[in-house]
Amino acid sequence: MDATVRRELSLRAAAHAEHVRIKCNVQRTAALDPFQVAEMRGCEIRFMSLPSLEGVYSPTPKSVIVLGSQRPAGRRAFTCAHELGHHEFKHGARIEELNASRFQASKNPDEFVADMFGAFLLMSQGSIRRALKDRQIQPDRFQPGHAFGLASFFGVGYSTLIEHMTWTLRLLQPKQRETLLKIQPKELKAQ
């Protein structure tokens, strides 16, 4: 998929995520509960022990999102938002395998737009900018503790937040990303 298509899909996903936020009465600058939003959008949420799967979306007979209960909380939240993207864009039934190659997702337009929708739903540009402003954090001085705190606030994984802020929102430089990703969240929790 070329850069122009990726940009168009990203813009489409961002606009639709904003539409969903509005429909669900979630402020542009607020963190949200993806499970609640999915239910408001007509999806039943189920948690199951799925050792080899991240999640499943099925539109029939009733829209349902099944999430792996053993996955980390941030991963479950992002997977829910991703599967809601499949629902919103009417992609049909999907099965997301555990550790599926991000390379494959980046080549598949449906998977890419669902990823972008999930990221923008959970971490809209407005909500990230507001969170930085409220905490008086300058993006050029972004530290691992800031990333850990914001990831917790938005209910997403540490690396998910960093990747989104770097590649999608362009708030962090790739060099900052490298430095931040050298620190593991468990090290930050211990502190």
Q: What is the pLDDT of residues 35-74, one digit of tens each?
A: 999 999 999 999 999 888 899 999 999 999 999 999 999 9
CA–CA distance, 34 with 163 (Å, rounded to integer): 19
CA–CA distance, 72 with 98 (Å, rounded to integer): 12
* C-alpha 94: how far from chain center: 17
**Which pLDDT score is estimated for 105?**
56
- When pLDDT is cut at 50, 70 and 90, the band that residue 97 belongs to is confident
CATH architecture of the domain with range 1-122 = Orthogonal Bundle (1.10)
Using DSSP, state whether 46 is helix, strand or coil.
Answer: strand
What is the average pLDDT across 4-14?
Answer: 96
CA–CA distance, 167 with 153 (Å, rounded to integer): 20
In one-letter notation, the amino acid at residue 116 is M
Using DSSP, state whether 87 is helix, strand or coil.
Answer: helix
Share of the chain above pLDDT 70, in %: 96
**Which pLDDT score is estimated for 7?**
95
What radius of gyration, in Å, describes the C-alpha atoms of the chain?
Answer: 16
Domain limits, the chain: 1-122, 124-191
CA–CA distance, 132 with 146 (Å, rounded to integer): 9
Which residue do the tokens 């620190």 mark? 183
**Which pLDDT score is estimated for 125?**
93
Cβ atoms of 162 and 172 closer than 8 Å? yes
What is the average pLDDT across 8-26?
Answer: 97
Q: What is the pLDDT of residues 105-134, one digit of tens each?
A: 567 999 999 999 999 999 999 999 999 999
Cβ atoms of 43 and 84 closer than 8 Å? yes
For residue 158, give both structure tokens: 């540490």
pLDDT beyond 80 at 27: yes
The predicted model scores a pTM of 0.93
DSSP 8: H
pLDDT beyond 60 at 95: yes
